[in-house]
Chains A and B, each alone.
Chain A
Amino acid sequence: MRWRWLLVLPVALALVLVATASRLQVFWWPEQLHDVTTGSQGAPLEVSDAWEDAEGHEQRRDLTVTLLEVVPATQVEGFSGPEPLVPVAGSAVWEVRLRLEVDPEVPLGGCEVSLVDTRGREAAAAGMMLGESSVPGPTCEPEGRTGPQYDGSRLEGDRPRPPTYAVSVLVVTDDDAVPDRVRLWWEAPDVAEISVRD
């Protein structure tokens, strides 16, 4: 009967694992986009996103997003209006058109958009030089009509944001990438994932 105490060992091990699991939380889990809201092209999708402001208070924004279309982009915004997009070997540029319905007093700066292809590769929208064209980073507000910044201030000269509007986000991908779904997020872990209709 002296070996009986060994039965405690697996229990103790399990307790140790559970107790140390909190470290996962601390390091990377909150940074992952694991709270997914899924929808499909053309259907309005209600999205809720939480973030922590400078004072450490939890803030929340609720919006309705509709993926209108994902089409090959033909032009980029240059210094003096739209310029044709000169193709670069091996690349493709997609225009992701989104319609947003959101309270004009909600800050929407710093949105992120990515395009996941049918092979699971995820190309994020980012400002980059593609040949002679300067592809802009993602913005989710209409040009010159922005809502408040995160500190409550407003961009000088901008008119208020309309409650409903459409934006285009450009995404550069490999030329053999076939768009499968669009991802839109602000702060992890919340992310909206909208499948593209064939």
Chain B
Amino acid sequence: MGRGLTTGLVGLGLLATGSLLQGWLPDDDADPGAEPHVRSGGVGDRIDLRTATVTVDEVLGTTRVEQYGSELVSPGLWVVVRYTVVATEENTPITFAELGDADGRVWGLVGRNANACTESPPGLAAHCTVFVEVPPDALPTLQLRLARLSRDTRFDAMAEIDLGLTRADAEAFATAPAYAVPAPSLGDDDLGDDDLGDDDLGDGEAS
């Protein structure tokens, strides 16, 4: 009788341990070793992604952006980030971009959000623009993540840039004029859209 009880208890113990392990160990789809290697920085920092360096040049915001002659009006805010990519060894386009906030919310390149960037040869700067619509309350903790491949970020380096925006920026962005998204361009000192009046925009660049 006592022996049966012991066997039962040991059996139950083993089952409980197995079930705990089952819950704790990564499942078949999880691949923690494949997580992207995150390199953090702020606006203006040159971040090394191994295959390229990226630098956020400017952060802007508005409720209306214009691209290809049509105006996109957001019920929230468009956060527009202008950044520079310099490929290291081979032509490297940056195609992965997403914004995230401290609550774990993520806004990727879906719907009307877009990343206007071009492939560029090593050493030659490409000037790119990403615009994503977010709720205004996300601005104070907003971060931009950039990586090489939108379809696959596993094992690769990923830049995480604190955009340094504040509640005051959210208010300024709400009344900023429409922003015409420049086409991506190449060249060392060409920022492209000097005549588009982006100086009038709420400028959220960290100071």
Residues of A in contact with B (beta carbons under 8 Å apart) = 88-91, 120-124, 126, 128-131, 171-177
Contact = CB atoms under 8 A, between A and B. Distances in A.
Interface stretch (B8-16, B131-139, B180-188): B180-188
Given A89-B190, A91-B186, A122-B89, A128 B118 contact: yes
B188 to A, nearest CB: 3
23 contacts: A88-B190, A89-B189, A90-B187, A90-B189, A91-B186, A91-B188, A121-B89, A121-B122, A122-B89, A122-B90, A123-B121, A124-B91, A124-B121, A126-B91, A128-B118, A128-B120, A128-B186, A129-B118, A129-B183, A131-B185, A131-B186, A173-B121, A174-B121
Nearest to B188: A90
B198 interface: no
Interface residues of B, number: 20
Interface in B139-187: 183-187
Interface of B: 88-91, 118-125, 183-190
B196 to A, nearest CB: 17
A123, A131, A176 pick with most chain B CB within 10 angstroms: A123
A112 to B, nearest CB: 11
Contacts of B125: 90
Given A89-B188, A90-B188, A172-B186, A124 B90 contact: yes
Contact of B124 (A120, A122, A129, A174): A174
A19 B37 CA distance: 29
Given A91-B187, A131-B187, A172 B122 contact: no
A90 B184 CA distance: 16
Nearest to B126: A128
A174 B86 CA distance: 10
A49 to B, nearest CB: 21
